[in-house]
Amino acid sequence: MKCALHWGLAIATSTSCLMASSPAAAQPEVARGTDANYIGVGVSAGLTNGGQGDDAAILGGNVQGRATLPDVPVSVRGAVIFSDETSAIMPLATYDIPIAPGANVYVGGGYSFVEDAGQRTPLGNRNAPVVVVGAEAELGANVVAYGDAKWGINAYQNSPADALSVQGGVGLRFR
């Protein structure tokens, strides 16, 4: 009886291994993530202030772009976050993590250069290192929606406060 049981297990294991490796059993690989290069526009909202009277949270806009690098999950990004007073220009690099077909989350960093130091942007009022966490998804063949949060480290003049802003927008894909 024991011998028959062992042979039965051996045959079942061999058969399942053979079937799993046959072409008929192979599942097509689903493309995950997006490799879209895009430029977009949207809104930006500052969520913090630096504790001074002239650096309260502010609503503004953004222009953001993404350029992918071939064969690596890294992107070079650019963002301009602006208010009615000035703008912050940010070169960024991100690590992109595919989460679904046509969609990524990303995390990275860069630096914020405020054009007119002391004037408010949604991400503070002085030059500062920036950490970014976001998501992007293709809405069609040529449209990408994006949203992220940016954390400006020590981003206010005369204050040790950090800045936090959220952005959202829609971009057009380019090749």
DSSP letters along 37-55, please?
EEEEEEEEEE----SSTT-
Instruction: Give the pTM.
Output: 0.81
Indicate the pLDDT class of residue 28, thresholds 50, 70 and 90. Answer: low
Q: What is the pLDDT of residues 134-148, one digit of tens each?
A: 999 999 999 999 999
Domain boundaries defined on the chain: 37-174
CATH, domain 37-174, list 2.60.40.10, 2.40.160.20, 3.60.110.10, 3.40.50.300:
2.40.160.20
3-class SS at 81? strand
> Token digits for 77?
């990004």
Type of residue numbered 35: D
